[in-house]
Amino acid sequence: MAGGCPEHLRYWLALHRAPRVGGRAGRLLLEFFGDPQAVFAESAATLAEVGLKAETIHWLQNPPWDAVERDLRWLETEGHHCLTLSDPSYPGLLREIPDPPLMLFVSGKPDALECRQIAVVGSRNPSPSGERMARELARALAFAGCGVTSGLAIGIDAAAHRGALEGRGLTLAVAGTGLDQVYPARHRALAEEIQAAGGALVSEFPVGTPPQATNFPRRNRVISGLARGTLVVEAALRSGSLITARLALEQGREVFAVPGSVNNPMARGCNQLIKQGAKLVEGVDDILEEFGWRGVIPDDRAAAENRPLDADENVWLLKYIAYDPTSVDTLVAATGRTPDAILATLLRLELQGHIFSTSGGCYCRVK
């Protein structure tokens, strides 16, 4: 368990649960009183003098310790951690933002939070080409030794996480709920893959926090705050992804966007970001160049990324597979081969990293 002894941690957890005590207010209280335990020892009059509302004061004088006990029980499980703002292991980049969370709950490897990261965000309903682009860019970032941070949502977020896993890299999923649950539930297996690969699930929300609309803008500032830059891949003009981009700018971080057709509503948010000064991204080098990271791909990953097809039988099928989703039926009609022969070759191509399967049972070329 990170974050100190259970008794010390108990007061951090209690303060973290207090109503109307966010990152800014919590940090001011700590600067004024010294540590969380001292906050709980103060009188109502003193707490009122520093500007706390009656609701918060009442809570601090009557904290629900049973909820704190639930947090402590969750932390007893192997692989569950929490990092307080005073913990040396608290991620340095996140500590720099104006309102860092008082605490982070982590399921997986806490060390992953300090890796060099790029956030990849976008639409929950992307086009097939947008989803492919997010997956390819995340895969390339992973090959270049960058962690990929996103929000575990359907669409671009999930594509980014999966691309990073395909690139044998670290990926971080920042949740808008407590980590005793996975939201959306359909991504439970993906969450397990992220942790098994050395990444982590991260949340500032304590155990038992359900998915609520107000949680996700707070979640977004953590996504951008952990990363050196935020890449937006397909976003409408009104979307949470643009909120994340705005937060990144406010935090002094870089913003990148993939351009798209003026006729695609899911590209309008990205095109607007580029007009406003975001860096246009056509490939991973556009991101790496911004930070001087070109040429950092480890030799073994570069070799894997550029490995040749090792059987002529695979080549004949690859030329029929488009960069947009291609169905097995289409390949059968185009080649005259049996479905069994097609599926066997598709499996070999996917294992070699030259194609990937989509949720609809189709296949796309990686490059």
| pLDDT tens string 301-357 | 444 444 443 444 456 788 788 877 888 888 887 777 888 778 878 877 877 778 888
Query: Per mean pLDDT, which range of 86-90, 259-263, 334-338 is the poorest?
Result: 334-338
In the chain, what is the straight-line distance between the N-terminal and C-terminal CA atoms, in Å? 43
Q: Report d(CA 315, CA 309) in Å as an integer.
A: 7
Reduce the DSSP state of residue 205 to 3 states and report it.
Answer: coil
240 pLDDT higher than 70? yes
C-alpha 187/C-alpha 155 separation (Å) is 11
* pLDDT-based confidence at residue 6 (cuts at 50, 70, 90): low
Of 50, 48, 2, nearest to 30 by C-alpha is: 50
**Which tens digit of pLDDT belongs to each residue from 173-184?**
999 999 999 999
